């Protein structure tokens, strides 16, 4: 009788073949509390798993006898060409992951011809990241980088930070860094109940800091994380009072879009839209794009996967502004499925961090190459030669499939 034993696949740490293998290597190299901080979600981790599992419920129906000798993965966003329909999502404190953190990520993005969104909670200043990106471009195409922000109740601070990132500014106090879009995270009036962080708080070591913030924020959790860990209502009220407007502003409403548009020439993108009604409002209020995102499962745990809500959100937008997608993307076929269901661009977050943990800039580049090869192969096997044609691909949801 043949041996029916199933062996777990081995990982060649020098040459991982999939994003999952890159993650496996990174997990062995990162301190456990850092890995868990990046990988974890809120409460029971249901939303994290739901994001990943949703892709398995959707299958691609291939077309055959189509000329797929030449497959192009290029796409266009805001008039700029991207080598792939992929961009790097904002992820905080990347120097904890490895290498030079955000510097390595920026260089890898430029080398790959991709857009990057820098987290405002980066461990390298927004100016230094852009300087590194422009140096990596070496006189070539200017980096198409975006800047993510959490707004506080202190609008003087908000305005100064936006001015630093601005593509153009008449304010001589700030040298405009040259970011092309402002990405406002709208799903985080307060932090979700991230039990892993509460039990093993991640704090920056003394040699690192949140480089875009003036206060010394090393050696202790941020005020937003202290509020997340409040054990009583009275304790939460005291933290909020003592913060003096430096916490995420929970009072934001739709008027914020117009206010931001009055402050900046950058595109304004809203990240964290899940409801079709909010997608319609984003268009009506003047947002330049939305990101369908549940914050990687780190906010509300009892929430659908982003792939589940994507078609309805895309239908509500009806092509009036770009629909960007994130959540659970680990394979090139996942990118294909998201685009087929209505996305114009797909963000990857954790895979970039695993690349950093694996081998710094080279590791991030490896992740990009893996996704590019997988996407190109998926397109050819599906009978599709351009990213635009992916929208016409036929998908079958397994609940309705004949198995």
If pLDDT is split at 50, 70 and 90, which confidence band does 6 have? very low
If pLDDT is split at 50, 70 and 90, which confidence band does 218 have? low
Q: Is residue 3 part of a domain?
A: no
Q: Is residue 12 part of a domain?
A: no
* Predicted pLDDT of residue 138: 87
- pLDDT, tens digit, for every residue of 255-306? 999 999 999 999 999 999 999 999 999 999 999 999 999 999 999 999 999 9
Q: What percent of the chain has pLDDT over 70?
A: 92
If pLDDT is split at 50, 70 and 90, which confidence band does 139 have? confident
Q: Is residue 44 part of a domain?
A: yes
Q: Which two tokens stand for residue 260?
A: 């931001």
Q: Is residue 4 part of a domain?
A: no
d(CA 137, CA 362): 16
Rounded to 10 degrees, what is the CA torsion of 376, 380, 385, 387? -50
**Which three-class secondary structure state does DSSP give residue 86?**
strand
Q: Does the pLDDT at position 4 exceed 50? A: no
Q: Does the pLDDT at position 8 exceed 50? A: no
Of the candidates 174, 173, 157, which has an alpha carbon nearest to the alpha carbon of residue 165? 174
Of the candidates 191, 186, 188, 190, which has an alpha carbon nearest to the alpha carbon of residue 253? 186
Element at 115 (helix H, strand E): strand 115-118
Q: Is residue 192 part of a domain?
A: yes
CATH number of the structural domain spanning residue 43: 3.20.20.70
**Which three-class secondary structure state does DSSP give residue 235?**
helix
Annotated binding-site residues read 37, 90-92, 119, 148, 150, 185, 194, 271, 293, 295, 298, 326-330, 349-350
Q: Which two tokens stand for residue 179?
A: 């970011």
Q: Which domain holds residue 34?
A: 19-400
* Predicted pLDDT of residue 174: 43
Q: Is residue 13 part of a domain?
A: no
Q: Does the pLDDT at position 94 exceed 90? A: yes
Claim: this prediction has a pTM higher than 0.85: yes
d(CA 367, CA 306): 22
- pLDDT, tens digit, for every residue of 30-84? 999 999 999 999 999 999 999 999 999 999 999 999 999 999 999 999 999 999 9
Q: Does the pLDDT at position 149 exceed 90? A: yes
* Predicted pLDDT of residue 398: 78
Of 95-104, 190-199, 343-352, the range with the lowest mean pLDDT is 190-199
- Distance (Å) of CA 302 to CA 45, 46, 296, 326: 9, 7, 13, 17
Q: Is residue 107 part of a domain?
A: yes
Q: What's the rounded mean pLDDT across residues 112-133?
A: 97
Catalytic residue among 46, 295, 369, 397: 295
14: number of Cβ within 10 Å: 7
Count of the separate structural domains present in the chain: 1
* Predicted pLDDT of residue 399: 65
Annotated binding-site residues for FMN read 90-92, 119, 148, 185, 271, 293, 326-330, 349-350
d(CA 342, CA 329): 15
DSSP-assigned letter for residue 90 = P
Q: What's the rounded mean pLDDT across residues 139-167?
A: 93
Annotated binding-site residues for glyoxylate read 37, 150, 194, 295, 298
Does the annotation count 369 as an active-site position?
A: no
Higher-confidence residue of 223 and 282: namely: 282
Cross-strand bridge partners of residue 267: 181
If pLDDT is split at 50, 70 and 90, which confidence band does 401 have? very low
DSSP-assigned letter for residue 270 = E
Q: Which two tokens stand for residue 287?
A: 């947002």
């Amino acid at each position: 009788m043949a041996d029916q034993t199933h062996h777990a696949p081995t990982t060649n740490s020098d040459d991982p073949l999939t994003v999952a293998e890159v993650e496996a290597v990174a997990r062995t190299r990162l301190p456990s509390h850092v890995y868990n901080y990046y990988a974890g979600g809120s409460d029971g981790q249901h939303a994290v798993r739901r994001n990943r599992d949703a892709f398995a419920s959707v299958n691609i129906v291939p077309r055959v006898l189509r000329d797929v000798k030449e497959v192009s993965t290029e796409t266009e966003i805001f008039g700029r060409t991207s080598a792939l329909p992929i961009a790097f999502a904002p992820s905080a404190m990347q120097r904890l992951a490895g290498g030079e953190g955000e510097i390595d990520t920026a260089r890898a993005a430029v080398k790959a011809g991709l857009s990057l969104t820098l987290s405002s909670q980066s461990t390298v200043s927004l100016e230094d990241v852009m300087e590194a990106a422009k140096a990596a471009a070496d006189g070539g195409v200017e980096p198409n980088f975006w800047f993510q922000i959490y707004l506080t109740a202190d609008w003087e601070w908000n305005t100064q930070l936006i001015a630093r990132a601005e593509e153009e500014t008449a304010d001589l106090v700030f040298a405009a860094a040259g970011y092309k879009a402002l990405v406002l995270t709208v799903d985080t009036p307060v932090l979700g109940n991230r039990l892993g962080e509460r039990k093993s708080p991640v704090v920056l070591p003394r040699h690192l800091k949140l480089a875009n913030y003036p206060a010394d924020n090393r050696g202790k959790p941020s005020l937003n994380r202290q509020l997340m860990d409040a054990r009583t209502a009275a304790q939460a009220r005291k933290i909020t009072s003592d913060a003096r407007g430096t916490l995420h502003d929970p009072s934001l409403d739709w008027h914020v879009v117009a206010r931001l548009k009055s402050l900046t020439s950058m595109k304004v993108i809203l990240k964290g839209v899940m409801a079709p009604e909010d997608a319609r409002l984003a268009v009506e209020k003047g947002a330049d794009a939305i990101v369908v995102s549940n914050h990687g499962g780190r906010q509300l745990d009892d929430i659908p996967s982003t792939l589940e809500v994507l078609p309805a959100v895309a239908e509500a937008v009806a092509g009036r502004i770009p629909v960007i997608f994130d959540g659970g993307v680990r394979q090139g076929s996942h990118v294909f499925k998201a685009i087929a269901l209505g996305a114009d661009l797909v963000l990857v977050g954790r895979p970039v961090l695993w690349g950093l943990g694996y081998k710094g800039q080279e590791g991030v580049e490896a992740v990009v190459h893996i996704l590019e090869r997988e996407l190109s192969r998926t397109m050819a096997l599906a009978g599709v030669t351009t990213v635009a044609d992916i929208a016409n691909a036929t998908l079958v949801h397994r609940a309705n499939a004949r198995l």
